[in-house]
Structure 1
């Protein structure tokens, strides 16, 4: 049986960073797999996890619980039957609802395959101060479904956000363990904690996506001889716009960082080719993290998510001007 954990958390809470940390500290003799779901269609998290050494399956373009769970079932079955991993980490989109996923994982058909352990929910306590997040059904239900809550981004916490977390835990925490962390740096032993299964989970809210998950399990790719492509999808009051560029396209390093920093959106995530190799970009609100390496990715991908109106064409025009090679 495959030991399995659901790693949830709202947009920008640090799920992928946490999974990368866990993969870097896994036992050498174990084979691990990751089933990752993203709101957008260009597959940023898949690119970030590509060199982690884990078996990887992507479900891009929406919520893996949609379409009667078919995209998730296909990806899950592939990993379990072909990969036979010792451990499986499942990362739903930050706009995903956990109940249908947990219902599927505990279904009788998966009993011989899956040993379900604790669900971890990443929480940036500052999100408790954001009315849009607190009122979001998925935000609330992810926390409700958690067996362990990871209060992440401790280095960005303030007295106000710490107080908000303390008040929330008094109201909603119950018997659950709370771990304070920075950069998703948590002890791997948390994955072996048992599932508490003490709470009646709320039903999945009605939600609709315009997404590609039902059409296939591969992230967006480029047709032959096409230099770049844009994809837009929306759901639950959010819109995601992503671009993928071919391997011959390089971006101006300073320019792309400023573009990502100043883009009038809530979420920016990307892996792009630059003269120096690659740059990874991760921005949530005003939190802006970058990392460079002297190796080049196979292509460039960047995605923006926002809950309001955005002039995607204007952002695209300024992005295209940052290309060094045409």
Structure 2
């Protein structure tokens, strides 16, 4: 039997960073694998995990709970058949609803294959005062369905933020199996074996499904050519802008970093060829990485407000011309 855990959390909370931390400390005698989902068509998280030495399966272009559900089971089956891991970590999109994913994992299809462990949900305490987060049905159910609730980025939080998280977490019912506070995604691997609670139920199980059926959850438009492709989209009250680019030259990292910060997007992730080699960026954190298989750079921004994709596109093209 294969252990499987969901690592959930809203946009920009640090799920990928937490998974990198877990993978760096997983038992040397065990094979672990990751299935990562992104709401947009531009897959970046897979590149952020590429140097961890574990098998990573990407599912981009929709949430695992709805649009990408068939690709989810296909990707999960591929991991099981080809890699035969001891544990699978699943990272749904920050806008994803975990209920259907959990139902699939614990259903008859995988009853003799998977042992569904506790769901770990990361929360940024600074977001608890924001109605955009706290009142979002997906955020509510990410928290409600979690067995382990983790306040992340506590080094960036005020004392009031921490107090608000403690009050929020302790008021949840059913109570969490574990409540913890960390910084930089330092989730303890032992928490993946915390006893779960099978009685947890989603409060808004149909919220995301309604958006999909109404045609709101996924609306994307691709423009350009294979060398320079832009994909704009919106869904669940958020706007997306993504790029695939075959760079003609290395881009200056400092200029690129400043340009991305100026967008003030709620979340941005990318993979670029810079003067320092291939580099990934995850909300201002830059790291070395391997070159992508297709040789293309990629970038995705997500924000509740409209993104100036035309302006950013023009600035990126100037960088590409040197």
Residue range with higher mean Cα deviation, 112-121 or 262-271: 262-271
**Contact 1:280 1:291 survives alignment (8 Å):** yes
Aligned-partner SS, 1:90: strand
Deviation at 1:303, TM superposition (A): 0.8
Whether 1:35 aligns to 2:35 is yes
RMSD: 2.1
Give deviations 1:220-277, integer Å, cap 9, x for gaps.
9x98xx4221112221111211112225442122210111110142211112110111
Q: Distance in 2 between matches of 1:108 and 1:236?
A: 30
Q: CA deviation at 1:196?
A: 1.6
Structure 1 residues 275 and 68 mapped into 2: Cα distance closer, same or farther (>3 Å)?
Answer: closer
2 CA distance for matches of 1:244 and 1:180? 36
How many pairs were matched up?
A: 310
CA distance in 2, matches of 1:302, 1:273: 12
1:192 aligns to 2:196 (yes or no)? no
Please identify, of 89-98 and 296-305, the stretch whose mean Cα deviation from structure 2 is larger: 296-305
Question: What corresponds to 1:210 in structure 2?
Answer: 218
Q: Does structure 1 residue 320 correspond to structure 2 residue 321?
A: no
Give the structure 1 partner of residue 273 of structure 2.
Answer: 273
Residues 121-160 of structure 1 correspond to what in structure 2 (within 5 A)? Answer: 121-160=121-160
SS in 2 for 1:51: helix
Report SS of the residue matched to 1:162.
Answer: helix
Sort the Cα spacing of 1:204 and 1:53 in 2 relative to 1 into closer, same or farther, 3 A: farther
Give the TM-score of the pair, scaled to structure 2.
0.90
Q: Is the 8 A contact 2:241 2:307 kept in 1?
A: no
User: Mean alpha-carbon deviation: is it higher for 112-121 or for 182-191?
Assistant: 182-191
CA, structure 1 residues 176+311, in 2 after alignment: closer, same or farther (shift >3 Å)?
A: same
Q: Please report the TM-score for the alignment, with normalisation by the length of structure 1.
A: 0.89
Q: Is the 8 A contact 2:150 2:180 kept in 1?
A: yes
Q: Is the 8 A contact 1:252 1:323 kept in 2?
A: no
Aligned residue number for residue 63 of structure 1: 63
- Cα deviation for residue 204 of structure 1 reads 3.4
What aligned pairs does 1:17-166 form with structure 2 within 5 A after superposition? 17-67=17-67, 69-166=69-166
Aligned to 1:216: none
* Unpaired runs of at least 5, structure 2: none
Tell me whether 1:301 sits opposite 2:298 in the alignment: yes
Once the two structures are TM-superposed, the CA of residue 101 in structure 1 deviates from its matched residue by: 0.5
State the SS of the aligned residue for 1:129.
coil
Structure 1 portions without partners, runs of 5+: 213-219, 284-288
For residue 321 of structure 1, give the secondary structure of its aligned residue in structure 2: helix
1:282 to partner: Cα distance: 2.2
The answer to whether residue 285 in structure 2 is matched with residue 290 in structure 1 is yes
- Greater displacement, 122-131 / 67-76: 67-76
